[in-house]
Structure 1
Amino acid sequence: MKAALKHAIIRTGLEAIAASRAGSLWPQAGGRGVIFTLHHVRPESAESFVPNALLSVTPEFLDQAIAASKESGLVPVALEDLPHLLADPDDKRRFVAFTLDDGYRNNAEFAAPVFRKHKVPYTIFITEGFVERTRSLWWEVAEALLRRASSIRLDTGTGSEELPLATPGQKNAAFERLSRLIQSIEEDTAVAQIERLASAHGIDPLGVTDRLIMSNDELRRLAADPLARFGAHTLTHVNLRRVDDARLRSELTGSIDAVENNVGYRPNAFAYPYGYPSAVGDREIKAAAEAGLSIAVTTQPGVLAPSNLDRPTAFHRVSLNGLFQKKRYVKALISGIPFRLM
């Protein structure tokens, strides 16, 4: 109920901004443009239980988002070029950069052709553990598990609880409970528990990774696309704010090295896993700069501004959410007004 109410409020706000054309009345709110976040780009799912729907948009919507960006006067550029573009005092243009997290196979199958159609550059952030099939995508494994199981017993660290899964509402509540588990106990331990539950119900966690994520060979082939860029996204997709200094450095530098090994050049862009405030703080922002990265992005919403250059490893991004796939909503986001009202 809470999620449904939240989505209804967001949708109402986007509709109001789109209908009022407030962006034309408050042009300063849009700043210098926007960086968009994407994950999956693929046809709409026929499944009734899709708790990760917010991470998936259709190719048709991506096409509309690019068109909306151009119609709003934004110039598509590569993410990696933003620091020097924003630093040029003579360049007054507004920009849009498209980024895709995790390295899903559908990025090459469905997203890349749309970007090529519009001649728009894009940056894919790679998690090495996914590419090497040593780390599962716990949120995808959890979705597969809850779709199949009739109930699961969860070890919370202080006891256990039975989660019934007879109805869609119970399945959604269980997914939220697993998400809270990831944040409340040591993440590797929580991921391992979800993997054990999945295995007990006949689901291969790393098989899910293999089905969804591009391999080394696929990444190398996609790297031949002159519009494709690649950035680092850690080794294990862990919440960096919850690890010690040594692992933070390892996750950063190791993933930078891994991208170079996979695509043939050293990346200068990075995306923080999860990217919200409890996953990215001053320590992580400083560490990314010390690792030699010229730009790093969170998932905290906001538009581009000259002040981004003061902290180039803390750029904001705006999610193209799969629950709000309308061209007019993209224009409302580009206006920047939703972020001024937050």
Structure 2
Amino acid sequence: MSLKATAKRLLKHAGIRAGLETVALTRADALWPSAGGRGVIFTLHHVRPAETRTHDPNALLSVTPQFLDEAIRACAEAGLVPVALEDLPRLLADASDRRRFVAFTLDDGYRNNAEHAAPVFRRHGVPYTIFITKGFVERSRSAWWETAEALTARLDMAEFDFGQGLEQLDMRRPARKRAAFDRFSAFVQTGDEDEAIARLDRLARAHGLDPLAIVDRLVMDADELRALARDPLARFGAHTLTHINLCRAGAARLRDELAGSAEAVAAYVGRAPRTFAYPYGYAEAVGEREVQAAADAGFAIAVTTQPGMLGPWNLARPTAFGRVSLNGLYQKKRLVKALISGIPFKLM
């Protein structure tokens, strides 16, 4: 991925922000109240205090506890009732219940979910669901996006084979670091994912970075999950064994990734998960085969990262609920209200 492509991505984010600001400032939700449907499922990853970093390619995955508090308040002001994700199919099926709902979900099981997010949810009495990947908990699978961030932050130059022979990566300027990160990301997401991650891990180790130590620093282990499970507001869902793009997995591995992760979560927290989140969750990572496989695996609800509001249409495909990202690049209460309106997704 070139510097030009990286600039294009930045322009895209600027356009999204401008659109959200327009909805927020014009109070368009008052003119189109039906756009908000029956509410929303929010996606989060990291919840941690703000840090000032010149190189932060995963910034969109991280929000502050203060912003999470503001988001919960925005939902309350919009009249949304906080519920556990696993309860949504039952609630939406009740024709006599016309309330609008919000469910908060957090992917990957980061330790800061317990340290910084859980206290905010407890303060407001809001249920939350954390999706667990066994390979992260067991320290047997690296989180490649965290590895790539640490690697591009540390190095100014590196050699790497993206499939066409060794190339020199110049990362002496912030823009080039981000371009290198984007190339690693594209490499993992378009080729053989296991092999791409293995190559990235080898590069990291060659430069003194241990990818599994990064996971150990960031992700809760089994004991921490077991402790958090004592929180009556906490729920836990499955998120595969290895966080692979399931569309690119064979039939046998697809079944194993679903069933194995459910068994692992049950072992960690003492309760079989009723919910599942597809890794990545975008259209190229979730197809009809995967939606059916999640249903066959017994999950009551499964979620993508494809944006959309709640509504009766979800009941026809309960293993294909959309979610809306609480994105670290747009941490303003007014922008949360714009998302809750549903209008941005009607205009996409």
TM-score band w.r.t. shorter chain: over 0.9
2-structure distance, mates of 1:12, 1:254: 42
- Cα shift at 1:161: 2.1
Residue 76 (structure 2) aligns with: 70
- Cα shift at 1:256: 0.3
Match of 1:23 among 20, 29, 35: 29
Q: Are 2:345 and 1:339 equivalent residues in the alignment?
A: yes
Match of 1:111 among 111, 117, 126: 117
Residue 95 (structure 2) aligns with: 89
Match of 1:178 among 184, 190, 203: 184
Residue 246 (structure 2) aligns with: 240
Residue 10 (structure 2) aligns with: 4
- Cα shift at 1:273: 0.1
Residue 294 (structure 2) aligns with: 288
Q: What are the ranges of 5 or more consecutive residues in structure 2 without an aligned counterpart?
A: 1-6
Alignment of 1:215-226 (within 5 A): 215-226=221-232
Letter in 1 for 2:86: E
Q: Secondary structure at the match of 1:313?
A: coil
> Are the counterparts in 2 of residues 128 and 234 from structure 1 also a CA contact under 8 Å?
yes
Match of 2:260 among 216, 235, 254: 254
> Are the counterparts in 2 of residues 145 and 198 from structure 1 also a CA contact under 8 Å?
yes
RMSD: 0.6
Q: Secondary structure at the match of 2:194?
A: helix
Match of 1:330 among 323, 336, 344: 336
Q: Are 2:154 and 1:148 equivalent residues in the alignment?
A: yes
Residue 326 (structure 2) aligns with: 320
- Cα shift at 1:160: 2.9
Residue 168 (structure 1) aligns with: 174
Q: Secondary structure at the match of 1:278?
A: helix
Residue 123 (structure 1) aligns with: 129
| Deviation digits for residues 229-267 of structure 1 (CA, Å, limit 9, x no counterpart) | 000000000000001000000000000000000000100
2-structure distance, mates of 1:160, 1:320: 38
2-structure distance, mates of 1:236, 1:100: 17
> Are the counterparts in 2 of residues 157 and 185 from structure 1 also a CA contact under 8 Å?
no
Residue 4 (structure 2) aligns with: none
| Deviation digits for residues 48-100 of structure 1 (CA, Å, limit 9, x no counterpart) | 10000000000000000000001001000000000000000000000000000
> Are the counterparts in 2 of residues 275 and 298 from structure 1 also a CA contact under 8 Å?
yes
Residue 3 (structure 2) aligns with: none
| Deviation digits for residues 187-240 of structure 1 (CA, Å, limit 9, x no counterpart) | 000001110111111001000000000010000000000000000000000000
- Cα shift at 1:184: 2.0
Residue 194 (structure 2) aligns with: 188
Of 4-13 and 127-136, the range deviating more from structure 2: 4-13
1-structure distance, mates of 2:181, 2:164: 19
Aligned residues: 342
- Cα shift at 1:153: 1.8
2-structure distance, mates of 1:153, 1:244: 32
Taking structure 1 as the reference length, what is the TM-score of the superposition?
A: 0.99
Q: Secondary structure at the match of 1:314?
A: coil
1-structure distance, mates of 2:190, 2:146: 19
Residue 317 (structure 2) aligns with: 311
Q: What are the ranges of 5 or more consecutive residues in structure 1 without an aligned counterpart?
A: none
> Are the counterparts in 2 of residues 75 and 93 from structure 1 also a CA contact under 8 Å?
yes
| Deviation digits for residues 121-167 of structure 1 (CA, Å, limit 9, x no counterpart) | 00000000000000001000110001111112221223332211000
2-structure distance, mates of 1:257, 1:7: 38
Of 175-184 and 35-44, the range deviating more from structure 2: 175-184
- Cα shift at 1:182: 0.6
Q: Secondary structure at the match of 2:176?
A: helix
Letter in 2 for 1:191: I
Residue 61 (structure 1) aligns with: 67
Q: Secondary structure at the match of 2:308?
A: coil
> Are the counterparts in 2 of residues 31 and 336 from structure 1 also a CA contact under 8 Å?
yes
Taking structure 2 as the reference length, what is the TM-score of the superposition?
A: 0.98
Letter in 2 for 1:268: R
